[in-house]
Homo-oligomer: A and B are copies of this chain.
Amino acid sequence: MAETPQKLSIICFSGDFDKALAAMVMANGGRAFDYEVNLFFTFWGLNILKKRKGRRPGKGMFMQRMFNMMMGGRNNLPLSKFNFGGIGPELMKGIMKKKNIKDVDGMLQDAIGLGAKIYACDMAMNVMGVSKEDLIDEITDIVGVGTFIANAEGGQVLFI
């Protein structure tokens, strides 16, 4: 192991269940190795942070409301493949439950508990019509890409 502290920063761009799961597994794995872990949620990935379980029209203009509604909440994340209108992720969650693997939301809570930093992208919130109130309370900060780049400096970065 290196002597200097390691750092892992993940741009959580995708709102797909399987990709979000991969991001959370990496985040928790990084914390298990005592890496500094920064998660930057942007675009469809903002969905992972949404407070509401159901789908609701958001604020803002028509298209923003549409994006908000169609994306659903953090318990409605689709699979990137074989989604079948939401049946795919439900069946995958069923398998995971039987095998005692936490789902995205449980892993996100673990990551937060383990000290991962949770950042929401201000530009994407602006474009997608997502407000601070729509997101879970455990967010470290709402920041721009500059802050993310500064925080990620010198470490590994993933775009998921």
A contact set with B: CB distance below 8 Å: 1-2, 6, 8, 11, 13, 15, 18-19, 22, 25-26, 29-30, 32-33, 35, 42-44, 60-64, 66-67, 70, 80-82, 91-92, 94-96, 98-99, 101, 123, 126-127, 145-146, 148-150, 152-160
Contacts and interface: CB of A to CB of B under 8 A. Distances in A.
Describe A's contact surface by its main secondary structure: helix
A24 to B, nearest CB: 10
A60 to B, nearest CB: 8
Contacts of A70: 82
Given A18-B43, A22-B13, A159-B22, A126 B99 contact: yes
Contacts of A11: 22, 26, 158
Contacts of A32: 146, 149
B159 A25 contact: no
A78 to B, nearest CB: 9
Given A70-B82, A127-B96, A157 B160 contact: no
A155 to B, nearest CB: 8
B67 A33 contact: no
Given A13-B22, A99-B127, A123-B101, A29 B63 contact: no
